[in-house]
Structure 1
Amino acid sequence: MKAAIFHGPHHRLSIEETSIANPGPREVLIRTAAVGLCHSDLHFIDGLYGHEAPAVLGHEAAGVVEKVGSEVRGLEPGDHVITCLSVFCGHCGFCTTGRPFNCDHQHETRRRGDEAPRLSLGEREVQQFYDLSAFAEQMLVHEHAVVRIRKDMPLDRAALIGCAVTTGMGAVTNTARIEVGSTVAVIGCGGVGLSAINGAAIAGAGRIIAIDVQDGKLDLARSFGATDTLNATGCDPVEAVRDLTGGGVDYSFEALGLKRTSEQAYDMLRRSGVATIIGMLPEGEKLELDGVSLLYDKRIQGSNMGSNRFRVDMPRYVDFYLAGRLHLDRMISKRIRLDQINEGFDDLRSGLLARSVITFPG
């Protein structure tokens, strides 16, 4: 199969013929239909996070099951599926208390060192990324990284549910659990931020303030449910949010992964407000907060993949889309081929697009 190979940070990905193994007893072989280009992938390409090479990146994907292992139950060839990086063991303390997104036994879902690798280049093992490796024509994953979906769901839009939607909407509805009528601010209007805005609208937020530096993205944010928009290049977003709301928002969401905007997300809260940091901050980054403000019951928290229970959440998001409530058609800025992946990441770095999606023939 063809795959986009990561040979280390600051290198362009190369399209190479890559071998993929047959499914083990609890593994699923999937023909990739579509995969989104996400900032999480870009963090590794640009060296903000480390990863072994060679590797196949990519994690926001949907496809069609081709083969299943002998012990797989509930999936069969021909099923349409979404993959999720929150692969879970099913029996650790986190899994058995309803928090599979924090599973700390994920290693049990991978092949042992004495087994043949899932991916290889000749005699050399190719590392999997987030247990998925979706920048390829096929994926070989554990059955606990897959959920079956309705066949009337377009797979290019289903791919977005694999990360952007689950991360953004989940942060709003699962992590923060916003209240009906509350005021919300979202910093960053890429795929994750737009999903947070859409989720806040579905959850009944009374006012949703979208913040970005691109007017085009702010216009898009209104179509996802934002009631107000702020271009941060022309104002202090903290003061502007306080002015708009008479003191600050109940909930804020940071979807960029930057120190300054994470601190702003906290500073724009009203008393008893909650800031949720969705973006991936660089390793070692520290945030600075005014300690006195903690006396006002203000809180800051992280969100791991939208605190998802993806086998429940993702089919629900599919239903939202097919009911016209989740606006995935507007999120896709560009559809590209696998061999255009480097240009796609150049577009992502520019900050001008919401989401590019690689589609595969077939």
Structure 2
Amino acid sequence: MKSKAALLMEIPGKWEVVEVDIDEPRANEVLLRNIAAGLCHSDEHHATGDSDRQHLPYCGGHEGSAIVEAVGPGVSTVQPGDHVVTAFLPSCGRCRWCARGMQNLCDVGALIPTGAMLDGTHRMHHEGRDVAQACFLGTFSQWSVVPERSCIPIDKDIPLVAAALLGCGVPTGWGSAVIAGGVVPGDVVIVMGTGGLGINAVQGAKHAGAARIIAADPIEFRRTSALSFGATDAVSSIEEATDLARSLTNGQGADVAIITTSILDGVQVARGLEAVRKAGTLVVTAVPGRNPGELPIDLAQFPLFQKRIQGCLYGAMSPTLAVPRLLDLYRAGSLKLDELVNRTFTLDEINDGWAAMYDGSTLRGMVLHDTP
């Protein structure tokens, strides 16, 4: 079948909307009619060359919601007509990490950079060339064939635009505070960068009962937005956030600092570690660029102050557990999803969406597909 899709033909490069061919789903695969696709900076890293990509053309999009159109042989967890959130981290259910309830670290994730399906072949093609799909998904296409393991069924009363956010941004940010950061009632928390990830780290810290949530972002719109999502304070830099946290804690510093900036570098990590108190935690969620620079850390902070740097992937949560739980919070009015999408774009307008992300006028831009 034919589909419109936004592809990268070269790196660095611009997203080009072209027609692609989609194969039928094979064993344990699903054909999706994609409805909404989030514009996450992780996809744009490929366009700028901050992330390596071995196979071109490349169809981006790893955050989305869809309706199951058809299933291949052996599929048992979804059926045609089901509404699903697409998980950019599929889970095999058998590896060491899945067995420990850590689906976000599933060994299948090692295959993501290939852009192929789990059997090593491709289901999307352009002018006779195989097209790589972001995280097995390619939500920047109207239609895509994905592994069954990448589909999380949801109730049909959930708006699909809101549901799409559960594919990446919301759980990654929320879990950065609640799970990876271990925020507890009364904590002072700093969130560095309040775009699509950081704004949800703010929501997570509020849910966990933090007494003060300090949002640090150079863009005024994002600072103002952070206040409406639960931040108690908003400043323009980590230095200001650090000074404020120390003034609130008799000079000790924040209990938890979370880095959710657009691109991670070594200086940010050093500043974040300096911002936390003794035995404090720095959560690193942001993705580094190609040249993140040196890591100018005073190593004495580890043996003398017992500080901890904690990495975080998908909020340190298992997707099949996190999605329904977060949707329960959404239903209860305890998690904002609709308010995150302040601008939507057609697939043809995808580069306008990226421009809006760069100028800071969106929290999460969303592509809405026009599928037959």
User: What TM-score results when the alignment is normalised by the length of structure 1?
Assistant: 0.94
Secondary structure in 1 aligned to 2:297? coil
Secondary structure in 2 aligned to 1:101? helix
Alignment of 1:174-253 (within 5 A): 174-232=179-237, 236-246=240-250, 247-253=252-258
Looking at structure 2, the residues matched to 87 and 288 of structure 1 have their Cα atoms a distance apart, in angstroms, of: 35
Q: CA deviation at 1:205?
A: 1.6
Alignment of 1:320-335 (within 5 A): 320-335=329-344
Q: CA deviation at 1:261?
A: 2.4
How many residue pairs get matched?
359
Contact 2:117 2:123 in 1 (8 A): no
2:260 is the alignment partner of 1:258 = no
- Structure 1 runs (4+) greater than 6 angstroms displaced: none
Secondary structure in 1 aligned to 2:155? coil
| 2:65 corresponds to | 62
Alignment of 1:41-190 (within 5 A): 41-51=43-53, 52-106=55-109, 107=111, 110-113=117-120, 115=121, 117-190=122-195
Give the residue type in structure 2 aligned to 1:200. Answer: A
Contact 2:31 2:144 in 1 (8 A): yes
| 1:16 corresponds to | 18
| 1:275 corresponds to | 282
Q: CA deviation at 1:136?
A: 0.7
Looking at structure 2, the residues matched to 339 and 361 of structure 1 have their Cα atoms a distance apart, in angstroms, of: 10
Looking at structure 2, the residues matched to 182 and 111 of structure 1 have their Cα atoms a distance apart, in angstroms, of: 43
| 1:337 corresponds to | 346
Describe the superposition over 1:116-170 as per-residue Cα deviations: whole angstroms up to 9, x where unpaired. x211113210011111111010121111111011111111111111110011012
Contact 2:172 2:313 in 1 (8 A): yes
Looking at structure 1, the residues matched to 8 and 89 of structure 2 have their Cα atoms a distance apart, in angstroms, of: 22
Q: Unpaired segments of 5 or more residues in structure 2?
A: none
| 2:359 corresponds to | 350
Describe the superposition over 1:8-58 as per-residue Cα deviations: whole angstroms up to 9, x where unpaired. 223211111101111112111111110110110111110011112101011
Q: CA deviation at 1:177?
A: 2.3
Secondary structure in 2 aligned to 1:18? strand
Secondary structure in 2 aligned to 1:45? helix
Describe the superposition over 1:48-96 as per-residue Cα deviations: whole angstroms up to 9, x where unpaired. 1111210101111001111112211121111111011111222111111
Residue identity over aligned pairs, in percent, reads: 34
User: What TM-score results when the alignment is normalised by the length of structure 2?
Assistant: 0.92
Secondary structure in 2 aligned to 1:296? coil
Secondary structure in 1 aligned to 2:32? strand
Secondary structure in 1 aligned to 2:136? coil
Looking at structure 1, the residues matched to 296 and 237 of structure 2 have their Cα atoms a distance apart, in angstroms, of: 20
| 1:297 corresponds to | 306
Q: Unpaired segments of 5 or more residues in structure 1?
A: none
Q: CA deviation at 1:284?
A: 5.3
Q: CA deviation at 1:313?
A: 0.5
Q: CA deviation at 1:111?
A: 4.0
